[in-house]
Amino acid sequence: MKLVIVESPAKAKTIEKYLGRDYIVDASGGHVRDLPEKAIGIDVKNNFKPEYVIYPKKQDVVRRLAGLSKKAEKVYLATDPDREGEAISWHLMNALGLDDNYSRIMFNEISKRAVNEAIEKPGKINMDLVNAQQARRILDRLVGYELSPVLCKKIQGKLSAGRVQSAALKLIVDRDREIKSFVKEEYWSVTAFLKKLTGSDIVFKAVLESKCGKKIKLENKEKTDAVLKELEGKDYTVESVKKSVTYGNPPPPFTTSTLQQESSTKLGMASNVTMQIAQQLYEGLDLTGLGHIALVTYIRTDSTRVSAEATAKARETLAEKYGEKYVPQKPNIYKSRKNSQDAHEAIRPINLELTPESLKDKLQRNQYRLYKLIYERFLASQAAKAVYDSVNVTIKNGDYAFKSTGKTMTFDGYTRIYAAAPKEEAGEDNEKIPPLADGEKLELSKLSPEQKFTKPPAKYTEASLIKLLEDKGIGRPSTFATILSTLYKREYIKKDGKSLEPTELGELVTVYLEKYFNDIVDAKFTARMEEGLDKIEEEGADWHKILNDFYPPFREKIKEALSGAKMDVADEPSDVKCEKCGAMMVFKRGPYGKYLSCPECKTNKSLKSRGEEKVSDVRCEKCGAMMVEKSGKYGKYLACPNYPSCKNIKSVQEVVAVCPKCGGDVVKRFSKTGRIFYGCAKYPECDFVSWDVPAPIKCEKCGGAMVIKEGKTKTVYKCMDKNCGFTADAEKK
């Protein structure tokens, strides 16, 4: 008998079907041992020697696997092919007492071919990967175990800090500070609506860009009016028409980071949900008529590399399904990011013959949606470029120059398979421009000045934060979902729609860490630590060095912080009256968080909400108390203050528009994945629903409902009827 040990039962079930009766495949359920839960477990004075213990809940698992390994002719450790997987194998080797009587096997996909190839080419545990994981684990334990009690003592109880989570939190806090301190500036634009004198009725737009060859800046109405006066009565003449063919490049196949970003943007899935579902697709699922099979390759990768075999199959599929013109002359090859670990392929389907449509009735809804995203992205990555005819027109009026640009798709290429996430449906690049010639005079239909204001930087979404974390080298892509989950769990951040905001507690913790532990929240310092861990893994660097370099100065900062004053948190006024004396209560902070306190009679009242509470004017229909506003993962809601005796809650519905179907209120809602949509408040009597805010006008072409589409440069109203497709400029008020 031969024993194969993997992490999960699902993975074991998938692998078992590819091996013969001589094999038993069993699962460890992840790590079987770690640093102790209730002690630091690190002998700092003995070169940071870790003390590993078997999890109490894994004692039976270890006994079972040890018994099987003693009977086995061979033991194969088949954990995931990365840092964490290597560490799990190493811990299993030690916990089971295997010594050198084992084989380490790895595969990038769970398929018959890949599993059998791995069995035929076994290896040994890579101690460089293990040491990199040990160094990371010890660093995280030192920071968490020694810094978290400082926060509890100096701010309030039940707080935590982490080597990576604190740096990520500071990014969100810093962006919030930027937004709050932003001072908007006025500026104006001037748009000319022009058409040919003869031969075409097409009216197109040209934007004022320069005067005497220098970019023009209009800061106020006075300057704008002066320019308009100079433009009056003068001819608009085409100075130059530049035509070109431009190309849209297909996107690379997914890495862990880009999968999380795109899933958030296109599917509205939280990063942790994306990773959970992706793990299911990788480990294998029971599919009717197909048995237990895996659908995608390993999901923790920052490489865009694809095997020659998979590339050839993608090109073959493209030719069969879409035709030869969709297959480029040479396979598309993508460069991986700097510092990426190229050990694994990009995330892709294992079998392109298993199309998303063929599995739609066999998969759960979100499994299907994510598989479809991965499948189409991979296929598109090997497709031909999209082709556009682009035109750039310069139009002169005296010393002033106007610009108009247009782009028409002549070949859809990869976009037929995989459309980019909606960004600029209302963008200026799609301006329809009639044929024009140099020197041709044009007729002015309208000259439109518009007042605008500069906008603050956008709040981070999960997608944009993940991209920033990767760009700055904070953490590894496989940890991004965990980082966000921890920040939510600690109530350091909250969601407003898709936007991420720091809570008051998150801001407080960041201010304290900036004062005493600036390295911990410094993005560059955190990135250098990640580079140090990579050097251990890739170059075999001494893993003790990174610990010796980090710990002594960190320990000094702990001592300094403990000797410093407690964080002074001022009381905040509330809208809650004391039930005993009628005085207005204030918010205070204690060892277990925020609570209400009466400054007169000293009555205290606990808060079990997320974020700040405010008494609403809505009365609880169950017990009669005035409900309070609370903030949860998906925004604000109303809750009865008498919880847990009364558990009544209500959603806070933000009215955004008039229902185009029944005339009622359209309110903002959240889907199960947290994505914002808009629906009629009279549901189910009225079933109007849209991903976009309804426009205040009807379609001029078909009389149907329109929605508001916002691009980077302008906003339009678009007909909801896809067969109509009519768009109109939104009115600026």
| 3-class SS string, 73-111 | CEEEECCCCCHHHHHHHHHHHHHCCCCCCCEECCCCCCC
Backbone φ and ψ of 601, nearest 5°:
-105, 0
How many other CB atoms are found less than 10 A from the CB of residue 122?
15
pLDDT at 610: 37
Backbone φ and ψ of 98, nearest 5°:
-80, -20
Active site residue 492: no
* pTM summary value: 0.75
Domain residue ranges of the chain, discontinuous segments joined by +: 2-125, 134-182+458-563, 186-249+386-453, 256-381, 572-651, 655-729
Strand partners, 347: 254
Domain 2-125 belongs to what architecture?
Answer: 3-Layer(aba) Sandwich (3.40)
CATH topology of domain 256-381: Topoisomerase I; domain 4 (1.10.290)
* Helices 480-489 and 165-181, axial angle in degrees (round to 10): 70
Backbone φ and ψ of 278, nearest 5°:
-60, -35
pLDDT at 733: 33
pLDDT at 732: 40
* CATH H-level, domain 186-249+386-453: superfamily: Topoisomerase I, domain 3 (2.70.20.10)
pLDDT at 611: 43
Distances (CA, A) of 178 to 44, 272, 461, 520, 720: 40, 27, 16, 21, 36
Q: Catalytic one among 23, 76, 282, 298?
A: 298
Could you tell me which of 267, 235, 240 has the C-alpha nearest to residue 254?
267
pLDDT at 174: 97
C-beta of residue 589 within 8 angstroms of C-beta of residue 156: yes
Domain 134-182+458-563 belongs to what architecture?
Answer: Orthogonal Bundle (1.10)
Which segments in the chain show pLDDT lower than 70? 338-343, 420-430, 568-572, 589-593, 607-617, 631-636, 651-656, 658, 663-664, 672-674, 696, 700-701, 710-715, 729-733
Strand partners, 594: 589
C-beta of residue 413 within 8 angstroms of C-beta of residue 325: no
pLDDT at 609: 42
Same fold, 134-182+458-563 and 186-249+386-453: no
> Cα(75)–Cα(173) distance, rounded to whole angstroms?
49
Residue 439 token pair: 């020197």
Neighbour-count burial for 149-169, b at 16+ CB within 10 Å, e otherwise: bbbeebbbeebbbbbbbbbbb
Q: What residues contact residue 437 under an 8 Å CB cut-off, 6+ apart?
A: 238, 241
Strand partners, 33: 54
pLDDT at 389: 95
